[in-house]
Amino acid sequence: MNFKRNAAVLGVVAIGAMTLAACGSDNNSASGGTTVNSAASTATCEGKEALSAAGSSAQKNAMDAFTSTYIAVCKDKGHSVKLAYNPSGSGDGRTQFIAKQIDFAGSDSAIKGDQAAAAKARCAGNDAWNLPLVFGPIAIAYNLDGVDNLTLGGETLAKIFNGGIKKWNDPAIAALNSGVSLPDEAIVPIVRSDSSGTTDNFQQYLTTASKGAWTQGAGSDFVGGVGEGAKGSAGVSQAVAGAPGSITYVEKSFADQNKLKAAKIDNGSGAVALTGDAASKAIAGAKFKNENSGDLALDLNSIFGSTEAGAYPLVLATYEIVCSKGYDADTTAAVKSFLTSAANEGQADLAAQGYVPLPGTVKDKLNASISAIG
C-alpha cells in the first residue's frame, strides 16, 4: 500500500537535528514551507534526541511531513531532535519493533496474534498499542471514453472484480448511472500482481459492502480470479491510463498523477465523489475494536460499511505501533512528544500529499492514548 511512493521507497528517511537559533520565534517554517506555531504545540520535545522507526511505505511522505514540522517546533523550544524512518514495509516494521531495533513501527494493519504476544514481551509485559495516525482514500480509477461521471457501488464493484459483470453497459451499472450513455464495451479489470495492503483493504471493503456478491475473501494477494496484473500502485495506474475500458483500485495520489477519472461510490445513500471531506466523514464514524482501551485498532467494517450520506467509505488506515508502557523514561518522553506533534500540527500538510487529516473524533481519542503512554 502506498499513498504516494517515490523512487527511494526502500531507503532510510533520516532527518537530522537542526541547530537552535540564538533568537527564537513562535513561528517557524517547516521544510515543506508550512508555518508552524510552536507556541501552540503541546509537544514537550523532551526525552532522547534521536528516535527510530520503520515500516509502512504508505505513510512515508506523512512521516517526512511530521518530522519536518516536529523539528521546527522543537527548534523554537530549544531542543534538537531527529527521527529516522525506514519505509521498509509493514511486516518488517513490526518485526524490528518486536526485536527492539526501533522505537515504534508503522503498519498498514494492526498488530495481532502471535506478533502481539511477542510485542508484549518486548514492552516488558505491557500491551503494544495500535494508534491510527495516517489515513488515505482509495480511488476507483477508470478509463472510459466519453464517460466522465460514473457511479459504482460495493455490489457492482465486487461483480466487476470477480467476473460477474463483464460489460460497461451491464444493467446493474446502468441502474446506478441514469442518463449516462454507457458503451457496449468489455470491462478490463487491472489488479495488483504483487502483495499489497491496498489489495487487502479493497477486498475487505468488497466483503463488507457487496451484499454477499464478494465471497472470495481478503488478503494482500488479489483473489478475485479475473483481471490483468500490474506491479505496484504506479503500475496499475499507468496500465489504466493506457488501456481504454479498464478499471482499477489505487491510492488517490496515483490516480491524480496519471490524470485518471475516479468513480463515485454509492454506499446506499446516494453517489459520493472522492474528496477529502467525504473521506473524512467516513473516518469520523469509525469504531474501535476496544472502545474503552488505549489501543485504537479500528473496526474497519464501520468505515467500509458506512451508509452515511456524503461519506466516501473506501479509505485506508495506517498505524503507529508503540509500547503502552515499558520504554525507558527518555524514550517514553520522546515517543509521546513526537506523536503529539504528529497528531496535531503535523496534520496540517497531509491533504496536499494525498492523505486525509484526522477528523476531530479520531484526533481526540488518539491524543488521549498518546497521553496515556508510559
Q: Which residues are annotated as a binding site for phosphate?
A: 56-58, 90, 108, 196-198
3-state secondary structure of 175: helix
Residue 364 C-alpha cell reads as 481526540
φ/ψ (deg, to 5) at 19: -80, 135
Q: How buried is 193 (Cβ within 10 angstroms: 0-12 exposed, 13-18 middle, 19+ buried)?
A: middle
Annotated binding residues, written as ranges, equal 56-58, 90, 108, 196-198
Distance CA 183, CA 151 (A): 15
Max CA separation in the chain (angstroms): 70
φ/ψ (deg, to 5) at 150: -115, 135
Q: How buried is 325 (Cβ within 10 angstroms: 0-12 exposed, 13-18 middle, 19+ buried)?
A: middle
CA separation, residue 20 to residues 72, 77, 78, 197 (Å): 10, 9, 6, 40
Residue 153 CA to its chain's centroid (Å): 21
Cβ atoms of 38 and 6 within 8 Å: the answer is no
Cβ atoms of 318 and 58 within 8 Å: the answer is yes
Structure letter (DSSP) for residue 186: B
